[in-house]
Amino acid sequence: MKAHSLIRSAGFVGLALALHGTAARADADTDLVKRGEYLARAADCVACHTASGGQPYAGGYGIESPLGTIYSTNITPSKNGGIGNYSEAQFDAALRHGIRADGAHLYPAMPYTSYVKLAPDDVKALYQYFMHGVAPVDGAAKATELPFPFSVRLAMAGWNMLFLDKAPFQPDPAKSVEWNRGAYLVEALEHCSSCHTPRNALMAEQSGQAYAGGALGAWFAPNITADPVSGLGGWSESEVVEYLKTGRVPGKAQAAGPMAEAVEHSLQHLSDADLKAIAVYVKDLPAIRDVHDQQPGHVFGSSNSDEATLRGVAGVSASNSAGGAELFSAVCASCHQPAGSGSKDQYYPSLSHNTTLGRGDTRNLIAVILHGVARKADGKDVFMPGFGADSLVNPLSDQQIADVANYTLKQYGNPALKVSAHDVAAAREGGEPPLLAKLPRLMPWLIGGLVVILGLVAWLFGRRRKG
C-alpha cells in the first residue's frame, strides 16, 4: 500500500471515528432530551405552565392564591417571551431556588420548595428538554399583579429564609433502593406534598403535618400517610399503584379535580417501576391520625334503595321542593343505580365503600357534585357531569346539592356528616378562604410588612456574608 493511500485510509478511519463520535454525542443528546421529557412529565410542569386551550408550556395559567392570582410564565425556548435566553445555571436557580434570570424572586406557587431536592443531573436533563424538545412559542404570558405589599418580590427572600429547606435530597441508607427512588419521586419531582400537606397562615407547608391532608380551593387532598384509619394503611401497594395509574380503585376511591389532572398529565405516564416505588414510599409515610376519624373512609356504606317507596310518586324531578331521595333518584340513580351500587362493570362506581363519602370531610363530595369528573387515563375517558351553575344537564341550587349530598351520606357513606347550603355556597366561591385571607383587612398588610422587613434583613445578611 502506498504511503499516501495509507494516510488517506487513516484519514478515512479518523473521519469515520469523528463521525461516529458526533453520532454518539447526538444519541447521547437525544437520550438526555428524552430523559428530560420523562422528568418534566413526572414533575408535571405542563399542568401549571399551560393555559386551558393554550399552547403547551406557553404559560398564562392562573393559580388562585389568597393574595391574588399568580400567572405561570412562558417556559418554551422562545427568546421572545420564553426562557430561550436562560443559561443552565439560571434555569437551575429558577427551578431549585425560585430565582428568575433577572434576579427577582418567584412566588412559591412555583413549587421550587419541592424541586430544591432535584438531583443536578435531572436539572441538566430538564434543561436540555426545555431548550431542544419543546416548541418555542413567542410572547410573554399574562403578568402577575399582586397588590402591595405582596407585589414586593424581595419579600420572598424572607419567606424562603423561614420556609425553604435547601438541603439536597438525602437517600436513607437504611431503606431499600426502591423506597429511596419513591422518596425522590414523591418529595422532589411529583411534589405530592404541595397538595396533600396542610399549609400554615403564611401559606407554607406544615412540616409536622406532612401528608395529613390539605385544602385546594373547593377540593381536599386527603391524608395519604400510612395511618390505617385516616390514611392509606388499609390500601395495598398494588391498589396505590392502580389508583395513580388509572385514577380509580373499585371499592376504594376515584380521582376527580386536581388529582385527576395529576393522574392524566403526570402519573399515568410513569413507568410501572416508578409507580411501585412511589407506593412503597407512600405506604411508609409516618402515620398521622385525625382523632375524629372512627374507621377508614372506604369501610363505610351499604347498598340501600328508597326506590320502592318512591315508585309511583308522580313526576319525580329535580324541582325545588324535591327532597334528597327524590333528587338522587332523578339525577344520580341513572348512573350510580338506585341502590348506589354502581354499574356492573363499575364504570359508574359504587357510592358505598367510596372514600369520598366515608372520610370525615365533605369537601370532595360537594366539589364532585358541582364540577363532576373528567379524566383521560389508562386509555379511557371517564365522565360525570357537574350540577353547578354551568351544568349542561341540570343546575341544582345550594340547598338541592346539600340535600342530595346528605342523602348519599346517610344511605351510602358516613351518616355522621352533614352538608349545609352554606358549605355549597362556599365551595362555589372556590372553598373557604385560607386564614391569611380571612384575617381582618389590615392583617395581611401587617404580615406583608413583616415579611418585607425579613426580606430586607435576609438581603443585608446575604450581602454581609458575601462581602
- Contacts (CB under 6 A) with ligand HEC, residues 276-295: 278, 282
> Within 388-427, which residues bind ligand HEC (CB under 6 A)?
404, 408
Is residue 83 close enough to count as binding ligand HEC by CB under 6 A? Answer: yes
Residue 359 CA to residue 222 CA, distance in Å, equals 9
Is residue 129 close enough to count as binding ligand HEC by CB under 6 A? Answer: no
Is residue 262 close enough to count as binding ligand HEC by CB under 6 A? Answer: yes
Q: Between 101 and 437, name the residue whose CB sits nearer to ligand HEC.
A: 101
> Is there a contact between 422 and 431 (Cβ–Cβ < 8 Å)?
no
Any alpha helices (H) in 43-154, and if so which ranges? Answer: 45-49, 88-97, 112-115, 120-132
Candidates 116, 157, 164, 186: give the one binding ligand HEC (CB under 6 A): 186
Q: Which residue, among 345, 351, 370, has the nearest Cα to 254 in the 3D structure?
A: 351
Q: With CB under 6 A as the contact rule, which of the stretches 6-14, 21-29, 158-166, 249-257 interacts with ligand HEC?
A: 249-257
> Within 292-351, which residues bind ligand HEC (CB under 6 A)?
297, 331-332, 334-336, 348-349, 351
What minimum distance in Å lies between the beta carbon of 308 and ligand HEC? 20
Burial class (CB in 10 A: 0-12, 13-18, 19+), 382: buried
Contacts 24+ apart (CB under 8 A), 209-213: 209/288, 210/285, 210/286, 210/288, 211/282, 211/285, 211/288, 212/288, 212/290, 213/290, 213/361
Candidates 255, 366, 454, 458: give the one binding ligand HEC (CB under 6 A): 255
Query: What's the distance, CA 417 to chain centroid?
Result: 26
> Is there a contact between 47 and 110 (Cβ–Cβ < 8 Å)?
no
Q: Between 262 and 417, name the residue whose CB sits nearer to ligand HEC.
A: 262
Candidates 228, 234, 385, 395: give the one binding ligand HEC (CB under 6 A): 385
What minimum distance in Å lies between the beta carbon of 17 and ligand HEC? 36
Instruction: Look up residue 267 and give its DSSP letter.
Output: G
Candidates 109, 322, 366, 377: give the one binding ligand HEC (CB under 6 A): 109
Torsion angle of alpha carbons 222, 227, 230, 231, nearest 10°?
Answer: 30
Candidates 63, 154, 204, 450: give the one binding ligand HEC (CB under 6 A): 63
> Is there a contact between 248 and 260 (Cβ–Cβ < 8 Å)?
no
Candidates 134, 226, 368, 377: give the one binding ligand HEC (CB under 6 A): 368
Is residue 454 close enough to count as binding ligand HEC by CB under 6 A? Answer: no
Candidates 50, 160, 329, 356: give the one binding ligand HEC (CB under 6 A): 356
Phi, psi angles (nearest 5°) of residue 215: -85, 145
Is residue 152 close enough to count as binding ligand HEC by CB under 6 A? Answer: no
Size (the chain), residues:
467
What minimum distance in Å lies between the beta carbon of 19 and ligand HEC? 34
> Within 200-239, which residues bind ligand HEC (CB under 6 A)?
216, 219, 221-222, 224, 232
Candidates 164, 192, 226, 318: give the one binding ligand HEC (CB under 6 A): 192
Interstrand relation of 214-216 and 219-221 (parallel, antiparallel or unpaired):
antiparallel
What minimum distance in Å lies between the beta carbon of 312 and ligand HEC? 22
Q: With CB under 6 A as the contact rule, which of the stretches 161-169, 172-180, 242-250, 313-321 interacts with ligand HEC?
A: 242-250
- Total interface residues for ligand HEC by CB under 6 A: 77
> Is there a contact between 141 and 82 (Cβ–Cβ < 8 Å)?
no
Interstrand relation of 380-384 and 248-249 (parallel, antiparallel or unpaired):
unpaired
Residue 68 CA to residue 142 CA, distance in Å, equals 14
Q: Which residue, among 3, 7, 189, 184, has the nearest Cα to 95 in the 3D structure?
A: 189
Q: Is 43 left (phi over 0), alpha (psi -120 to 50) or beta?
A: alpha
Helix axes 442-466, 155-163, angle to 10 degrees: 80
Nine cell digits for residue 197? 400537606
Is residue 44 close enough to count as binding ligand HEC by CB under 6 A? Answer: yes
Strand partners, 373: 384
What minimum distance in Å lies between the beta carbon of 464 and ligand HEC? 26
Q: Between 317 and 334, name the residue whose CB sits nearer to ligand HEC.
A: 334
What minimum distance in Å lies between the beta carbon of 18 and ligand HEC? 34
Q: Between 9 and 268, name the residue whose CB sits nearer to ligand HEC.
A: 268
Q: Between 183 and 373, name the residue whose CB sits nearer to ligand HEC.
A: 373
Candidates 32, 33, 43, 164: give the one binding ligand HEC (CB under 6 A): 43
Q: With CB under 6 A as the contact rule, which of the stretches 175-183, 198-206, 356-364, 445-453 interacts with ligand HEC?
A: 356-364
Candidates 32, 36, 37, 49: give the one binding ligand HEC (CB under 6 A): 49
CA atoms within 13 A on the CB side of 428: 19
Is residue 33 close enough to count as binding ligand HEC by CB under 6 A? Answer: no
Residue 322 CA to residue 335 CA, distance in Å, equals 19
Q: Between 412 and 458, name the residue whose CB sits nearer to ligand HEC.
A: 412
What are the DSSP calls for 390-428, one per residue? T-SS----HHHHHHHHHHHHHHHS-TT----HHHHHHHH
What minimum distance in Å lies between the beta carbon of 172 and ligand HEC? 18
Nine cell digits for residue 270? 410513569
